Amino acid sequence: MIFCRSRKSAQRTLANIIPFIEGELFLKVNRAKTTVTHVGKVKYLGYAFYRNKGKCRFRLHPKTVSKMKAKVREITRRNKGWSNDYRRQKLAEYVRGWINYYKLADMKGLMAETDEWLRRRIRAIYWKQWKKVKTRYRNLRALKLEEWQVHQIANSRKGYWRAAQILRVALTNKIIARLGYISMLDYYLKVS
């Protein structure tokens, strides 16, 4: 990557650098990938760039975010057949590795948003595991809800995703953290 102040300067640099790289260094330049473009449109190792107050900063490229969400979606699929401990371990491994790689990017807002989505997926997993109404009653009472709330939530006929939103009253963020699930935002703030 070569950064220049203007497009004209970048085109002149590109015209001069390609013969040097191919002639002197004997390296092959991929002309399809070699372009002159604005810094905001560049993707490099999953990062994208933007300017803030005259400085170049890192952010995540949209493709990187969609790949991360696809992987988290795969780990937290309700029909996977994994135990909660194994799922928790796999999720923690992936989140730690992913955040350690991309910790240079400015992604505090993205991590907060992704955490909410991830916790809702976790609630949906637990709701599916509490398949019978009797089991739902028992588990909701164990979470110290009032009896009218237990009755209202346990008898809900909503789908898993909608029920997960209702279950937010019972399986709070603190309880999910106590169950051992990692918070992406907390881990990002810890390592960055």
Domain segments of the chain as ranges: 1-36, 65-191
* pLDDT surpasses 90 at 178: yes
Contacts of 33 by beta carbon, 8 Å cutoff, 6+ apart:
none
Condensed to tens digits (0 to 9), the pLDDT of residues 67-97 reads 999 999 999 999 988 999 999 999 999 999 9
Dist CA 114 CA 99 (whole Å): 12
Of 106, 11, 112, 8, nearest to 49 by C-alpha is: 106
Average pLDDT over residues 33-61: 82
Condensed to tens digits (0 to 9), the pLDDT of residues 147-176 reads 999 999 999 999 999 999 999 999 999 999
Condensed to tens digits (0 to 9), the pLDDT of residues 105-142 reads 999 999 999 999 999 999 999 999 999 999 999 999 99
Dist CA 45 CA 179 (whole Å): 34
Contacts of 102 by beta carbon, 8 Å cutoff, 6+ apart:
46, 47, 60, 64
* pLDDT surpasses 80 at 184: yes
* pLDDT surpasses 90 at 50: no
Average pLDDT over residues 33-48: 81
Q: What is the pLDDT of residue 43?
A: 81
